[in-house]
Structures are given as C-alpha cells and as structure tokens.
C-alpha cells in the first residue's frame, strides 16, 4: 500500500463509519449486533458483483454501490422482506483512488437512505484482480411469512412487476461497440435502457403484498425464461406465458418494433430485478389492485401448468418457444 493513502482503519472512519447504524457501534468493533423486531424472522441473502462481469469498471462509483445494494435488496423484496442492514466486502484493485471511494460511499449512503437499512459491518481487501463487491443483506418478515421460490401450484397466475428486458437491452447498448440497432433509438430511449442496466430498482414496496397474496416469488436476475424455469423445476410443473402480455417499457417496445428478434434478449437477458410471482387465481384481483394503488403494477403474463418441460412462451401468432435453463448466467 502506498504511503499517501489512508490505512484501512482511516478509510473506514472517514467513509463508512458515517453510514453505520446503531448495531455497528460506529464501526469501531469487529462485529455488529442485530435483533429482529419482535415477532419477526431475519431473512438473509448474499450476492457479489464483479467489474467486467456484472458492471463496467468505468461505471460511476455511486451506480456500482447502488447496484450492489439493489441486487441484494431485490432478493429481499421477492421474499416479502424489508431491509434491516448490510455487510459489505470491498475487494479493491491496485489502482483504486480515494476519490473513487468517496463517491462510492456517498452512493452507498444514498442507497441505504432510499431503500432502508443500515451499514452493519464490512471488510476491505486488496485484490490483484478486478474490483468486486460482496454484500450480505439482512431483512425481516413477520415470523413464518417468508415467500418461498418453489411453492407455486398448477393453476396459479404468473405475474411480473415493472417491465422486462430493459437492462439486457441497456447492456447491449453499453457494450463497445454498441449493438447495431443503437442508432435507430433516440438518445432518451438509449439512456433509459442503460439506466435500467445500471440502477436496479428493488421492488421493496411490493413486499407486504407478496406476503399476503403470492404463493411463490423470486426476483428476476438471470432472465425471465431461466428464472421461471428455476421457480418451477422438478415437481411436475411448467408454465405457459403469453409473450404479448409481457410488460415492456416504451424504449424496449421501440427497440422490438425495429428488431423483433430482440425478443430473445428480452426473455433470456439478465438484470431485470423485477418480481416474478405466482398468485392463486382467487387472490389475483386484490393483489393487482393493491399493487396498482402503490404505483407498482403487477402484470399477469401466464399460468403455472402441469408438465415436465421448460416454460413455453406463446407469441401472438401462435409460435411456441422454449429456452434452455441457464441460457443466461453470470457465472
């Protein structure tokens, strides 16, 4: 470590201690304490993001911080949980700068303020490799109400939040060189899609409603087709999805209008961080009305069916398509 840089303790005191909640005692200890609210279970999840795999090394540091938070809080939201806090492991490459770190910490603080939750602890290591961030997120649900992934039943209605495919299209635009359809979009449309890639929006507002109405839920991180297959795997269940009902943003709709073959990217691309849930038919109307009232509409896209094959995606013209599991993987 070069001598003009602060020590790890100095970094923690300057940038991270101000984000610490009461459980972390100002980051002056090697551990934090946390007690779930009375009548609640803690919910735990961990997801790491790596430069060059999950984000671009030159993405704004605040965006990287929010992505690390967002991908983890998206898991909490899908389980019906509200955030309590995070622990952060930051593996810094050799060329890190204090300026980068300051902007990163500011983004992390903004994200925690927006989403909820406190910084409970962390570790900073030097790695002779790309920047990577590991987050363990802790949330809570009323005891026994965690919404599981594998519990959908035949006949349940499949719904998704927000819009699908934006981040995958945004990634194609963000690459060098950008996708060949980039110039057919307006600057605002391109920016909207790239923003969706950079800034996952965990649908935390839907958590209470998922606990009440959803039989099963997960967040869509590895593509709708693959994640739906994961949700239904191994118990004689499949799904039929109406492609025309999959919610698209205006920018994604325009890109698809120009290039219909991008539908595969929309269905199999990653980084949506939307909610996929299975709702019993009798709960659908109440579930959708409550979601709409929150400004977070849930769109029915199909149904859980019996069968062993992968989910079938049916186009308006009757074409039936399936996608192999793992068609998209960060791994």
The answer to whether the CB of 20 falls within 8 A of the CB of 105 is no
Residue among 62, 64, 91, 194 that touches a second copy (CB under 8 A)? 91
54's tokens: 């999950």
Do residues 107 and 65 lie in contact, with contact meaning Cβ atoms separated by under 8 Å? Answer: yes
Contact range with a second copy by CB under 8 A, out of 169-177, 204-212, 277-285, 323-331: 323-331
Q: Minimal distance in Å, beta carbon 150 to a second copy?
A: 5
Of 21, 36, 178, 307, the one binding a second copy (CB under 8 A) is 36
Query: According to CB under 8 A, which one of 20, 63, 64, 79 is a site residue for a second copy?
Result: 79
- CB 232, min distance to a second copy, A: 12
**Touching a second copy, residues 49-78 (CB under 8 A):** 49-50, 52-54, 75-76, 78
Q: Record the tokens describing residue 280, joined without a space.
A: 């019993």
Torsions phi, psi of 197, nearest 5? -70, -40
Interatomic CA distance for residues 74 and 50, integer angstroms:
18
The nearer residue to a second copy, 232 or 251, going by C-beta atoms, is 232
Cα–Cα distance for residue pair 175/231, rounded to 1 Å: 30
Q: How far apart are CA 113 and CA 187, in angstroms?
A: 30
First-to-last C-alpha distance (Å) of the chain:
31
* Contact flag: residue 308 with a second copy (CB under 8 A): no
Distance CA 301, CA 218 (A): 15
Query: Stretches 86-94, 102-110, 238-246, 287-295: which one binds a second copy (CB under 8 A)?
Result: 86-94
Query: Can you tell me the distance from the alpha carbon of 302 to that of 245, in angstroms, rounded to the nearest whole number?
Result: 8
Q: Which residues are annotated as a binding site for ATP?
A: 122-123, 149, 221
Binding site for a second copy (CB under 8 A): 1, 7-9, 23, 25, 28-36, 41-50, 52-54, 75-76, 78-79, 81, 87-89, 91, 120-130, 132, 134, 136, 138-139, 141, 143, 146, 148-150, 218-219, 230, 325-326, 329-331
């Amino acid at each position: 470590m070069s001598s003009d840089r602060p020590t790890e303790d100095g970094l923690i005191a300057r940038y991270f201690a101000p984000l610490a909640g009461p459980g972390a005692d100002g980051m002056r200890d090697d551990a934090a304490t946390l007690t779930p609210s009375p009548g609640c279970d803690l919910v735990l999840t961990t997801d790491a993001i790596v430069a060059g795999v999950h984000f671009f090394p030159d993405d704004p540091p605040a965006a990287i911080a929010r992505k690390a938070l967002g991908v983890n809080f998206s898991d909490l939201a899908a389980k019906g949980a509200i955030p309590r806090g995070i622990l952060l492991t930051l593996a810094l490459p050799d060329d890190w700068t204090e300026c980068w770190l300051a902007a990163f910490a500011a983004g992390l603080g903004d994200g925690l303020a927006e989403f909820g939750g406190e910084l409970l602890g962390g570790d900073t290591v030097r790695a002779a490799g790309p920047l990577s961030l590991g987050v363990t997120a802790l949330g809570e649900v009323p005891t026994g109400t965690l919404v599981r992934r594998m519990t959908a039943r035949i006949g349940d209605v499949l719904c998704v939040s927000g819009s699908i495919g934006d981040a995958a299209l945004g990634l194609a635009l963000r690459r060098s060189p950008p996708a060949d359809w980039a110039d057919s979009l307006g600057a605002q449309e391109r920016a909207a899609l790239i923003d969706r890639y950079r800034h996952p929006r965990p649908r935390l507002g839907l958590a209470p409603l998922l606990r009440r109405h959803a039989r099963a839920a997960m967040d869509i991180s590895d593509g709708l087709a693959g994640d739906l297959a994961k949700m239904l795997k191994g118990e004689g269940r499949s799904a039929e999805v109406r492609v025309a009902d999959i919610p698209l943003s205006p920018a994604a709709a325009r890109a698809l209008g120009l290039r219909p073959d991008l539908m595969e990217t929309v269905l199999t691309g990653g980084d949506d961080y939307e909610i996929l849930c299975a709702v019993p038919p009798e709960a659908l109307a109440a579930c959708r009305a409550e979601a709409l009232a929150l400004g977070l509409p849930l769109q029915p896209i199909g149904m859980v069916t019996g069968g062993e094959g992968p989910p079938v995606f049916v186009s308006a013209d009757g074409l039936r398509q399936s996608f192999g599991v793992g068609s998209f993987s960060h791994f």
